[in-house]
C-alpha cells in the first residue's frame, strides 16, 4: 500500500507580532520531538524569513505561506508573488482558504491561476475546500466540494497533481469550536479521494494527503486523525500555542 504523508500544518492567520512569532516558532522547533509527521508552519508574510531560519535544519519542519498572487511580478500594490516566496525558500502555499474566498472574493478561476503560480515556482499548494453551513444543511456538500476540486485543480497534469495537498475545511467548523464528527470528516475525505481516483487514477488518489481543518484541537485530533482517509490537519486557533500545536502533532496513534 502507498504510504501517504502525515501532515500537521499550523495556519497562524493574521496573528502574532514579530516578537511573538519569534517566540512561538522557537518554542515549537525547540520542543518538537523526532517525528515521522511533516510539520508545516504557515505564518503571516512578515514572519516567513525568520520562521524559515528557525526551522531550517530541524527534521520534518517545513515553511508555508498563507496566500500568494498569481502573477510573476508587476503593478499589484500590496501583493506577494510565488516567485518572491520561492526566493526565501518557502515550500508550501495555502491556496483557497475559505477566508480568502469569503473576504477577498477569490473565485475558483483565480485559485486555479494561483495553483499554477505555486507549482511553477517549485512549491506545493495546500488547497482548501469545504462547504458552508447552508450547503451542509441542504445535503449538497459533496457536489460543492467536487466542483471546487474540479475548477481549481483538475486542469493539472498527473505529475503536477502529485504535488498537491488537500485540506477539507467545512466552513461551519472553522474557528467555531464546532468540529465535524470523525465520521463526517471520514465520509468527505473518502469522497474526495474517490473524485481524485476518477480523474487521476487510484494510485494517485491513494498517494494524496488529505488534511482535515476546522476547530481541530488536542482533545479531538487523535480521533479525527485515526480515520482511514484523514492524513492530518490544518490547524488555526490551536496552532498559536506551542503546547496545543505540539500535542496535535503527537496525535497520530
Q: Which residues bind ligand PGA (CB under 6 A)?
A: 11, 169, 174-175, 213-216, 234-238
Polymer length in residues for the chain? 253
Per-residue three-class SS string for 189-248: HHHHHHHHHHHHCHHHHHHCCEEEECCCCCCCHHHHHCCCCCCEEEECHHHCCHHHHHHH
* All residues at 6 or more sequence positions from 134 whose CB lies less than 8 Å from its CB, including other chains: none
CB 213, min distance to ligand PGA, A: 4
CB 10, min distance to ligand PGA, A: 9
| Active-site annotation holder among 69, 97, 121, 189 | 97
Strand partners, 126: 94, 165
Which residue number, 169 or 229, has a Cβ lying nearer to ligand PGA? Answer: 169
Whose CB is nearest to ligand PGA? 236
Which residue number, 21 or 236, has a Cβ lying nearer to ligand PGA? Answer: 236
CB 238, min distance to ligand PGA, A: 6
Which residue number, 200 or 212, has a Cβ lying nearer to ligand PGA? Answer: 212
Active site annotation includes 131: no
What would you measure as the largest C-alpha separation in the chain, in angstroms?
A: 49
| Active-site annotation holder among 99, 106, 131, 169 | 169
Which residue number, 84 or 221, has a Cβ lying nearer to ligand PGA? Answer: 221
Assign residue 177 a region (left: φ > 0; alpha: ψ between -120 and 50; beta: otherwise): left
CB 51, min distance to ligand PGA, A: 17
CB 236, min distance to ligand PGA, A: 2
Q: Are strands 165-168 and 61-65 parallel, antiparallel or unpaired?
A: unpaired
Ranges of H-type helices in the chain: 18-31, 48-55, 82-87, 98-103, 108-120, 133-138, 141-153, 158-161, 182-200, 202-207, 221-225, 242-249
CB 217, min distance to ligand PGA, A: 8
Note whether 208 and 201 are within 8 A (CB). no
Closest CA to 127 of 89, 105, 156: 156
Which residue number, 200 or 239, has a Cβ lying nearer to ligand PGA? Answer: 239
Which residue number, 122 or 176, has a Cβ lying nearer to ligand PGA? Answer: 176
Active site annotation includes 79: no
Strand partners, 233: 8, 212
* Rounded Cα distance, 151 and 102, in Å: 17
Supply the residues annotated as catalytic: 97, 169
Amino acid at each position: 500500500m502507498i504510504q501517504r504523508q502525515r501532515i500537521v500544518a499550523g495556519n497562524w492567520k493574521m496573528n502574532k507580532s514579530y516578537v511573538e512569532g519569534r517566540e512561538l516558532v522557537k518554542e515549537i522547533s525547540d520542543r518538537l520531538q523526532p517525528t515521522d509527521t511533516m510539520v508545516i508552519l504557515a505564518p503571516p508574510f512578515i514572519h516567513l524569513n525568520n520562521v524559515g531560519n528557525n526551522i531550517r535544519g530541524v527534521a520534518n519542519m517545513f515553511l508555508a505561506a498563507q496566500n500568494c498572487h498569481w502573477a510573476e511580478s508587476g503593478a499589484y500594490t500590496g501583493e506577494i508573488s510565488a516567485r518572491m516566496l520561492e526566493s526565501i525558500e518557502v515550500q508550501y502555499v495555502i491556496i483557497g482558504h475559505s477566508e480568502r474566498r469569503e473576504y477577498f472574493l477569490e473565485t475558483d478561476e483565480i485559485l486555479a491561476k494561483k495553483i499554477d503560480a505555486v507549482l511553477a515556482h517549485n512549491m506545493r499548494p495546500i488547497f482548501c475546500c469545504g462547504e458552508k453551513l447552508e450547503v451542509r444543511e441542504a445535503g449538497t456538500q459533496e457536489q460543492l466540494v467536487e466542483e471546487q476540486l474540479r475548477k481549481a485543480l483538475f486542469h493539472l497534469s498527473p505529475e503536477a497533481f502529485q504535488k498537491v495537498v488537500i485540506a477539507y475545511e467545512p466552513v461551519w467548523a472553522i474557528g467555531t469550536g464546532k468540529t465535524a464528527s470523525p465520521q463526517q470528516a471520514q465520509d468527505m475525505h473518502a469522497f474526495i479521494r474517490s473524485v481524485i481516483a476518477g480523474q487521476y487514477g487510484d494510485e494517485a488518489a491513494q498517494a494524496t494527503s488529505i488534511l482535515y481543518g476546522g476547530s481541530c484541537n488536542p482533545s479531538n485530533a487523535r480521533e479525527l486523525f485515526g480515520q482511514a482517509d484523514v492524513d492530518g490537519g490544518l490547524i488555526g486557533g490551536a496552532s498559536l500555542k506551542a503546547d496545543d500545536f505540539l500535542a496535535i502533532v503527537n496525535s497520530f496513534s
